[in-house]
Structure 1
């Protein structure tokens, strides 16, 4: 199997290259416009074939591409490879608006080509070991509530970038039943003194579960916390490696195996294995497509709502 990586910036270098280059049976091709970076990383990871123009990759006989470039470039690059019927992986978000997400999935369907989005939080081992079936939308037992908080220090921002580039992580992580509209949803944005979006909290109820996603980007620390409740038992995860299970009025500590690599605890390993199986079969499960679409459309509707609130506040 031969796969090209397009865009070799911080995300690719920190979250992907250290472990995907160790996967047996895959020949990697690197592509970035930064020639110095390209040469350095190709040497470091023993990659023989490199390109500075992604369009030349159609001559490289690749089976798939993985796009790790800036969000603003995703539509153009993904459209190019889907048009050439080459399986395509895109780091979340696919694009920064709902219309382009639908356009790309329509193209992928017409050409019978897998389009996969890298939502690593769907694949976190510690969570899925204990919250069985939750991320697949089929909880093993009735899920009463799921809350996902992702906070940052001193990073207020413009609405669309805030929601699509960052908030979409907790949003998608609780969107287990693939909701695509804001009907019956509570949305509470907060602003800083410069009218930048500082935090957002949303919640809704679906299939008997109360779902809540929250992000505060003027928090005192960068952190992430997940809580889930079932009848007479609850879970809280302070990060991707530790948690607490409350049952029978007692607390039980949860933790990943000591030997598990950091990137594996964050779900990247399981996510890449799912992606590689899709490349091999040429098929992507319908449920994954539906949720990918739903989360982007939901983000678009939230974005439009918050932008409207911002205008009212300013005027």
Structure 2
């Protein structure tokens, strides 16, 4: 199967290429406008098919593509790929706008092609296992120390992982959504999302002035609590005695963080002729759009839903 990797930034080099180059049966090609990077990464992974533009890549032939270019380039790139009959895997988000995201989902559906969004936490083994744990209360904090930012890139580039992970983990239908935030200077400092339904509450928190980079997920209910730290450590609390389980010495970071499993889901679908829909991912983008509009409107705590 001929598979392209478009965009060779940090996420492509650290998370995806180590996985894809280890998968059997793939003929890989690379694309980036940066010729020096194209040759350097091509030499590193011994990939001879290298293209500085999309026209050359498509002319060379490709069945599926992993798109890791800048978010602002997603819509034109993915439109062209889908128009050429190429299945697409796209780093989150699909686009900074809901309209652009919806356009891609609808185009993929009309063409009968797979469109998958890179929400790796849905495939991380500790998160998948968490679906079997009591989840009356879910608290996910993904804090950063990189400073405040405009609401749209803050939410769509970063907080979107929190939004999607909560949607994945909630144990029932969400009947109420509320958002709180702080943006005193026009830049978003922190945001808190609450999703609730019959018997559960889920809180997603991001503080960009926290002084720390951390990701901590807590699930609790029925006398038990599970804490997942940085997708690599699990602490179970029951009866006052915490039990710690760390990632095994021989377990790869790509597997622990869900990248291996996620890539295989996409690749297996292409191989087997199964079409993956982007509709559920679009619901995450819709919620992100709702958060951004509330922040931009200056509404600090209005419930919705």
TM-score, normalization by structure 1: 0.89
Contact 1:199 1:214 in 2 (8 A): yes
* Dislocated runs of 4+, deviation >3 Å: none
Contiguous gaps of at least 5 residues in structure 2: 301-305
Does 293-302 or 202-211 show the bigger shift?
202-211
> Which whole-Å deviations, capped at 9, do the CAs of 1:138-178 have from their partners, x for residues lacking one?
xx465312221111113210010000000001111001279
* Shift in Å, 1:85: 1.8
Contact 2:114 2:276 in 1 (8 A): no
In structure 1, the partner of 2:217 is 226
In structure 2, the partner of 1:118 is 118
**Inter-partner Cα distance in structure 2 for 1:183 and 1:75:** 32
In structure 2, the partner of 1:57 is 57
In structure 2, the partner of 1:191 is 183
Secondary structure in structure 1 of the residue aligned to 2:12: helix
Secondary structure in structure 2 of the residue aligned to 1:153: coil
In structure 2, the partner of 1:145 is 137
Q: What is the aligned residue count?
A: 299
Contact 1:114 1:282 in 2 (8 A): no
In structure 1, the partner of 2:257 is 266
> Which whole-Å deviations, capped at 9, do the CAs of 1:51-77 have from their partners, x for residues lacking one?
111122222221101100000000110
**Inter-partner Cα distance in structure 2 for 1:279 and 1:211:** 34
**Inter-partner Cα distance in structure 1 for 2:80 and 2:198:** 38
> Which whole-Å deviations, capped at 9, do the CAs of 1:111-145 have from their partners, x for residues lacking one?
0000010111111122323x1xx3xxxxx465312
In structure 1, the partner of 2:41 is 41
In structure 2, the partner of 1:300 is 289
* Shift in Å, 1:247: 2.1
Contact 2:134 2:219 in 1 (8 A): no
- What's the C-alpha RMSD, in Å, of the aligned pairs? 2.2
Correspondent of 2:247 among 218, 231, 256: 256
* Shift in Å, 1:237: 1.4
Secondary structure in structure 2 of the residue aligned to 1:309: coil
**Inter-partner Cα distance in structure 2 for 1:242 and 1:141:** 16
TM-score, normalization by structure 2: 0.92
Does 15-24 or 224-233 show the bigger shift?
15-24
* Shift in Å, 1:185: 1.7
In structure 2, the partner of 1:200 is 191
Secondary structure in structure 2 of the residue aligned to 1:235: strand
